[in-house]
Structure 1
């Protein structure tokens, strides 16, 4: 479940990132994409208002000092093979996916020339960022829609293939603000993966190699089902409640990191894992979550 392309970086934003004040997350995206020398492509495929949304990001990126910005609007699937769009991505140091509808991203871009080029460029070291819908599409299987603020049930979440930039996980956005813990648990329980990330608004999970770093004013909730002791998934109908026992949960605010290989959080003040620190203190660290 590590980043499939070893040299690139992903900036996965939970939505509603600050565009007026300090712009901490967008500033970090630009810095990692080359700073003042960054060449940015904004992908507006997810939104039905590409001009307005594109102009918003042009304004904020220009304010941060970026001079090379191009908007790529792929309204139809054939646009995903357009020479101008492909050339812009070849030259880009950073690609930013706006919010909107994640199903539009995959229906228009998946298995096209743009899709293949984005994966190639990621392997060459560019930064790919996405907010809201642009975050949801990052895994190989994405949440398309689902009920919020409810207990886990099979019926509350719909999954479809994503873009596969970060395979082997499930991602949900607007997480704390919309009470989406139930649908993230439901999604992970029904997929052949054990790890999920719930990203709050104005918060980003930045992934490079095998490590995730949290940036922003909220938190990233990490759900780890690798060692669950019980699930009734095989016994229930679609509208019946899921029971999940022994789920491990980590809440990681700004500055904390997570090792995707060992599945261990890394403390903000040093490089020790939470598990190592707790062993030194003689304390247990696993937080069982029992839902049913």
Structure 2
């Protein structure tokens, strides 16, 4: 994407309300999303992975682990098999699509068709879209999601959830238009931007840059060993860290249409929410839900 294209998209995201998705709630018929900021506990109580298994059917859960993002599919797949089996899932299978043609493998498609929960591991989010986007397996995942299965992802598996994802970019920096590189995501949670390893890697500037490049108003930064669970119109925070919600729906000023490539971004009147475990967020009303 050229700088001019970035500026045009960024300007549209702030000035053309008709192009911005007002509600990012999931349809009631769809399943839930468990989006993890990375480095989730896999050896202790495994609270986040335990919650995923519970929501995917508990002792009747049939889990498929997608290892497409990692360069170590055997090792990573075995780790999650051991965790999910220890937590009591009825079955755990690994589907590895190391090459794009693997996405049409009948065994993999059969496993997804039978699954109650699908889990994407960490690694490189660009590999997920390169190998899966617009394939038969991609279509099946979206159909099964619309039928109610749970889809989860950690780190790269979290980054790929929106329709436009952060591919890479600088951490610990002020927001500029060149900080975040964007590309198509898998489109399970549309109309938002997501970043992971958030507090640990100082990625607020990167998230703001990503939001400015897209016709969206909401961004979510998810800390490590922390998850957001999306169920219809409500988001729940789960884990030991917090999430950062950035809402730019009511901006009074931005300089996005005047910037050169490396110049700092201005966003005035953006709203910021910090939400730890037990808090939530209403995706229709765009308001936090306080813990009772």
Under a length normalisation based on structure 1, what TM-score does the superposition of the two structures give?
Answer: 0.91
Trace 1:87-98 onto structure 2 (pairs within 5 A): 87-98=110-121
The size of the alignment, in residue pairs, is: 269
- Match of residue 202, structure 1, among 225, 232, 237: 225
RMSD over aligned Cα atoms: 0.8
8 A contact 1:140–1:162 mirrored in 2 = yes
Measure, in 2, the Cα distance between the counterparts of 1:6 and 1:251: 29
User: What's the secondary structure of 1:177's corresponding residue?
Assistant: helix
Q: Which consecutive segments of 4 or more residues in structure 1 shift more than 3 A?
A: none
2:207 is the alignment partner of 1:184:
yes
Aligned to 1:171: 194
8 A contact 1:170–1:184 mirrored in 2 = yes
Under a length normalisation based on structure 2, what TM-score does the superposition of the two structures give?
Answer: 0.91
Measure, in 2, the Cα distance between the counterparts of 1:263 and 1:223: 10
| Unaligned 5+ runs, structure 2 | 1-23
Measure, in 2, the Cα distance between the counterparts of 1:4 and 1:189: 26
2:16 is the alignment partner of 1:16:
no
8 A contact 1:99–1:133 mirrored in 2 = yes
Higher RCO (CA 8 Å, separation ≥ 6 residues):
2
| Unaligned 5+ runs, structure 1 | 270-292
Aligned to 1:69: 92
8 A contact 1:5–1:119 mirrored in 2 = no
- Match of residue 56, structure 1, among 57, 79, 91: 79
Aligned to 1:280: none
Shift of residue 4, structure 1, vs aligned partner: 5.2
Aligned to 1:244: 267
- Match of residue 148, structure 2, among 125, 132, 146: 125
Shift of residue 75, structure 1, vs aligned partner: 1.0
Measure, in 2, the Cα distance between the counterparts of 1:121 and 1:191: 28
Q: Deviations over 1:22-72 (max 9, x none)?
A: 100000000000001100000000000000000000111111112301000
Measure, in 2, the Cα distance between the counterparts of 1:5 and 1:41: 23
Aligned to 1:212: 235
Shift of residue 5, structure 1, vs aligned partner: 7.0
